[in-house]
Amino acid sequence: MEEVLRGLASKMHVEITVNEQKKEADVEPRLLLVHFLRENLSLTGTHIGCDTSNCGACTVLVNGKAVKSCTMFTVQASGKEVMTVEGLAKGGKLHPIQEGFWEKHGLQCGYCTPGMMMAGVALLQKNSNPTEEEIRRGISGNLCRCTGYVKIVEAIQYAAEKLREAQQQKVEVPAR
């Protein structure tokens, strides 16, 4: 009972920008970020896989860095920017990483896919032209039990190319 009271007594106010929208809530400090996203915000694209920081299904970006949202408390994300798989597509248009998974069949059951895509996005932000080995290292915190990873690597390579092309066009426009 004392435990319960202590938990209830200590709710804290958090303000978190999730997919560019400001969210506020009063939460228990023990509420994990993945539960906040899924249960408080109904953003169920972020999956809970192993729940032991191994599988990476719950990977989201916090201030641009890939983190396992089952291993971070919601209160730690207060004041920060979180991006989930729901934040990838803009105006009905798929993000290049989503397009890549679609075009290259980067998924079978799809359970690991949201985390895999977020890890892929984080990787491509740091390295716009990764080698196959760099991709494999980059997603080594994410487990897939269906594909054998070959198609996932291809999907990320596809996204890398699309993103580089988009970058190229941006650079070329002002020169005209």
Shortest distance (Å) from residue 175 CB to another protein: 33
Q: Which is nearer to another protein, 51 or 86 (CB)?
A: 51
Give the footprint of another protein on this chain (CB under 8 A): 3-4, 6-7, 10, 12, 28-30, 32, 35, 51-54, 56, 59, 65-68, 70-73, 75-76, 119, 137-138, 140-142
CA distance 149 to 24: 38
**Residue 68 to residue 52: CA distance in whole angstroms:** 10
Distance between CA 75 and CA 15 in Å, rounded? 9
Smallest distance, another protein to C-beta of residue 12, A: 6
Which residue's CB is nearer to another protein, number 51 or number 81? 51
Neighbours of 2 (CB within 10 A): 6
| Amino acid identity for residue 96 in this structure | P
Closest CA to 69 of 21, 11, 80: 80
Shortest Å distance, C-beta 128 to another protein: 16
Specify the residue, 39 or 165, whose C-beta has the smaller distance to another protein.
39
